[in-house]
């Protein structure tokens, strides 16, 4: 069964600094991978997804993630943090051709300091 | 385009009471999902509908939870009777089809507190 581990339940950065949110997955078959963002009192919004095309995936709001099979990782990055990026971020995985069910990590809360 | 609508946004009940949540997906979306998000955890899929048929309900506690999607549009999730551990945010999502490459669009959720 697939699973996701997000390292760091809380990450704090200064405005303008690099954002790096870590995600490692476990899957017995090639995975689909997703990053979602959740703002307070709102539902989840898709940031980007990897579906076995290009390994470097660009998403909305300047975020991108790189699929590294050898490291079983799909870390989320943004070169320069903005105050509006403060939110909770969830990594999710699903097996290609498997149950097609998304399995989410526990989330990482990002704080952006002025 | 209107997003996924959910109501109520907040609900507080006593344990052993019943509660129901309503979801209206994006127009034209065939697939509807209900997720449970307990504080400090990621969402967990409870049930997935394709039109008005159930695709996956393997993680739905069927002794107390039930869901239906009549006419393949709106859906209702019910808990009867509620337990303290049911306190969570219940998220509804929809997608055009059931393919995982299809984006799931989430509603704002219903926050349930069981006292």
How far is residue B90 from each of residues A59, A76, B15, measured CA to CA in Å?
A: 26, 26, 17
With helix as H, strand as E and coil as C, how does chain B read?
Answer: CCCCEEECCEEEECCCCCEEEEEECCCCCCEEEEEEECCCCCCEEEEEEECCEEEECCCCCCCCEEEECHHHCCEEEEECCCCHHHCEEEEEEEECCCCCCCCCEECCCEEEEEC
Interface membership of B53 toward A (CB under 8 Å): no
Q: Which of B33, B42, B45, B99 to mutate to test the interface with A (most CBs of A within 10 A)?
A: B42
For A71-101, what is each residue's pLDDT tens digit? 999 999 999 999 999 999 999 998 655 556 7
CB contact under 8 A, B101 and A106: no
For B60-96, what is each residue's pLDDT tens digit? 999 999 999 988 899 999 999 999 999 999 999 999 8
pLDDT of res. A100: 63
Q: In the predicted model, what is the mean pLDDT of residues B2-6?
A: 92
Alpha-carbon gap: A106 to the closest alpha carbon of chain B (Å): 4
CB contact under 8 A, A41 and B108: yes
For B11-57, what is each residue's pLDDT tens digit? 999 999 999 999 999 999 999 999 999 998 999 999 999 988 998 89
Of B40, B45, B91, the CB nearest to A43: B91
- Residue-level length of chain A: 114
pLDDT of res. A97: 56
* Sheet containing strand A3-7, strands side by side: A3-7, A19-26, A73-78, A64-68, A56-58
User: What token pair was written down for A78?
Assistant: 């943004």
pLDDT of res. A95: 65
Give the whole-angstrom CA distance, residue A72 versus residue A24. Answer: 6
Of B99, B100, B106, the CB nearest to A44: B106
Give the whole-angstrom CA distance, residue A113 versus residue A68. Answer: 30
Closest CA to A32 of A77, A78, A65, A62: A65
pLDDT band at B100 (very low <50, low <70, confident <90, very high): low
pLDDT of res. A99: 54
Q: Which residues of A touch B (CB under 8 A)?
A: 4, 9, 32, 36, 41-46, 49, 51, 90, 92, 94, 96, 99-102, 104-107
Which residues of chain A make contact with B106, given a CB cutoff of 8 A? 36, 43-45
Which residues does residue A89 pair with via DSSP β-bridges, in sequence order? A37, A108
């Amino acid at each position: 069964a697939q699973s996701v581990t997000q390292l760091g339940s809380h990450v704090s950065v200064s405005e303008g600094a690099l954002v790096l949110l870590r995600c490692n997955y476990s899957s017995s078959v090639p995975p689909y991978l997703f990053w979602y963002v959740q703002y307070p009192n709102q539902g989840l919004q898709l940031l980007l997804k990897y579906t076995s095309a290009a390994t470097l995936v660009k998403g909305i709001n300047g975020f991108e993630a790189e699929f590294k099979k050898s490291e079983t990782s799909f870390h989320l990055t943004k070169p320069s943090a903005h105050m509006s990026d403060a939110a909770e971020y969830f990594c999710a995985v699903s097996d290609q051709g498997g149950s097609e069910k998304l399995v989410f990590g526990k989330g990482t809360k990002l704080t952006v300091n002025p | 385009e209107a997003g996924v609508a959910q109501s109520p946004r907040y609900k507080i009940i006593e344990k052993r009471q019943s509660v129901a949540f309503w979801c209206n997906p994006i127009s034209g979306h065939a697939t509807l999902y209900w997720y449970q998000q307990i504080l400090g955890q990621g969402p967990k899929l409870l049930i997935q509908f394709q039109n008005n048929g159930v695709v996956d309900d393997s993680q739905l506690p069927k002794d107390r939870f039930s869901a239906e999607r009549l006419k393949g549009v709106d859906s209702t999730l019910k808990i009867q009777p509620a337990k303290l551990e049911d306190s969570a945010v219940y998220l509804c999502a929809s997608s055009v089809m059931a393919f995982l490459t299809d984006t799931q669009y989430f509603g704002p959720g219903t926050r349930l507190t069981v006292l």
